[in-house]
Amino acid sequence: MTLAISARSLARHFGAVVAVDGIDLDVPRAQIYGFLGPNGSGKSTTIRMLCGLLVPTRGTATVLGHPVPREAETVRRKLGYMTQRFSLWDDLSVTENLEFMCRVYGLDRTARRRQTEDRIRTYDLGSFSDQRAGTLSGGQRQRLALAAATLHDPELLLLDEPTSGVDPQNRRDFWESLFALVSRGTTILVSTHYMDEAERCHRLAILDRGRIAAEGEPKQLARSLDATVIEIECADLTAVRRALAGMPAVRSMAQLGNRLHVLMRRDAVNPQDELRALLAGQGIEAAVERVGATLEDVFVAAIQLRDQPQAGAERAA
């Protein structure tokens, strides 16, 4: 397996604040690798260290075969970077933004014209190519930002929560564009807090307080979850919550419509039968079944339950 990124014991401190706390990372080439985590988990700081914008407090990182930050300038010429905030020029048109970025990337006149026309066509920007960027919708601005980040055909694309504030349909279209890039050999590292986006990644790291709490393929993470998942369907879920509160084997509860998603200790024996008997004993009619884990269950187990793996207290997912 050829790696685009490799990091060992990578850390970054801001005074007394530990933003990234010694992570190990291997990102294969021509895949989408995701960072999933809450705000403050270290996603953005890690990305900024990998592209040379921040110097690590300790640890090492190699990006596209070059050590960073020592050869950061060489790495920057080979990567595209798209932040969660629109970072192009509001008072320039779509075409003017792309042409200006071509100059930043050092493309000659022929390449500038070719790449600008190609990106306008690829990302469906033609109908508003003369429109000022500041007047575009969220989805249009997102497509323009991706077009600009790929003008120089980068080997590596770093995306820091790129779909924040974008509607579901535009997010779906955006991800289709990412897979098209991967099919042509581009490696993508993307940070997100959307579960459906994390599911789309080839591999995923769940970050919590500057550390990697879980890592692997999304389906693999779900299969290896250190908990049993029980789903309860009932007309009165408030009564179910009261009945299960304080039960030692119950680690977490989250409501999904008229269903309650319950994480129980993996060593619990016949947990669904135990819950059926408990609820029936309190006169609560409910359908109880064991189900497969979702990525949200993995996230809850990795983030919310890490410090109290055997806790029976109820937690909101």
- Residue 309 within a domain: no
- Residue 68 within a domain: yes
Mean pLDDT, residues 196-216:
94
Task: Assess whether 161 and 30 both reside in one domain.
Answer: yes
Task: Assess whether 118 and 247 both reside in one domain.
Answer: no
* Positive or negative torsion for Cα 300, 304, 305, 307: positive
Task: Assess whether 288 and 241 both reside in one domain.
Answer: yes
| pLDDT the model gives residue 311 | 38
Q: Which of 170, 202, 222 is the endpoint of a domain?
A: 222
| pLDDT the model gives residue 305 | 60
pLDDT in tens, 89-128: 999 999 999 999 999 999 999 999 999 999 999 999 999 9
Q: Please tell me the least confidently modeled range out of 67-71, 78-82, 83-87, 160-164.
A: 83-87
By C-alpha distance, which of 108, 129, 104, 110 is closest to 119?
Answer: 129
Q: Which of 173, 194, 222 is the endpoint of a domain?
A: 222
Supply the mean pLDDT for the chain. 91
CA distance linking residue 134 with residue 127, whole number of Å:
16
Task: Tell me the pLDDT band of 204, cut-offs 50, 70 and 90.
Answer: very high
- Residue 182 within a domain: yes
Q: Examine the pLDDT at 64 and tell me if it is beyond 90.
A: yes
Q: Examine the pLDDT at 306 and tell me if it is beyond 90.
A: no
CA distance linking residue 70 with residue 42, whole number of Å:
22
| pLDDT the model gives residue 310 | 43
The domain that contains 295 carries what CATH number? 3.30.70.100
- Residue 19 within a domain: yes
pLDDT in tens, 118-174: 999 999 999 999 999 999 998 899 999 999 999 999 999 999 888 877 788 888 899
Token look-up 């997912």 returns 317
User: In this structure, which long-range contacts are made by residues 97-101, counting pairs with CB atoms below 8 Å and at least 24 apart in sequence?
Assistant: 97/133, 97/144, 97/148, 98/144, 98/147, 98/148, 98/151, 101/148, 101/151
| pLDDT the model gives residue 307 | 55
Mean pLDDT, residues 168-192:
93
Task: Assess whether 136 and 271 both reside in one domain.
Answer: no
Task: Assess whether 237 and 126 both reside in one domain.
Answer: no
By C-alpha distance, which of 203, 217, 218, 212 is closest to 41?
Answer: 212
| pLDDT the model gives residue 309 | 44
What's the Cα-to-Cα distance from 305 to each of 128, 220, 232, 252, 290, rounded to whole Å? 48, 19, 21, 8, 20
Task: Assess whether 97 and 180 both reside in one domain.
Answer: yes
| pLDDT the model gives residue 156 | 97
The domain that contains 110 carries what CATH number? 3.40.50.300
Task: Assess whether 229 and 212 both reside in one domain.
Answer: no
Task: Assess whether 189 and 60 both reside in one domain.
Answer: yes
Task: Assess whether 235 and 197 both reside in one domain.
Answer: no
Mean pLDDT, residues 277-286:
93
Tokens of 115: 């790449």
CA distance linking residue 274 with residue 236, whole number of Å:
19
By C-alpha distance, which of 22, 97, 35 is closest to 61?
Answer: 22
Residues ≥6 apart with Cβ < 8 Å to 225: 293, 297, 298, 301
By C-alpha distance, which of 36, 2, 9, 18 is closest to 222?
Answer: 36
- Residue 56 within a domain: yes
Task: Assess whether 201 and 293 both reside in one domain.
Answer: no
Q: How many domains does the chain have?
A: 2
Q: 307 versus 202: which is more confidently predicted?
A: 202
Residues ≥6 apart with Cβ < 8 Å to 97: 88, 89, 133, 144, 148
pLDDT in tens, 7-60: 999 999 999 999 999 999 999 999 999 999 988 899 999 999 999 999 999 999
- Residue 311 within a domain: no
By C-alpha distance, which of 258, 232, 250, 246 is closest to 300?
Answer: 250
Please state the pTM of the whole predicted model.
Answer: 0.88
Q: Which residues form the domain of 56?
A: 3-222
Q: Which of 222, 252, 276 is the endpoint of a domain?
A: 222
| pLDDT the model gives residue 161 | 87
Task: Assess whether 150 and 231 both reside in one domain.
Answer: no
Task: Assess whether 233 and 205 both reside in one domain.
Answer: no
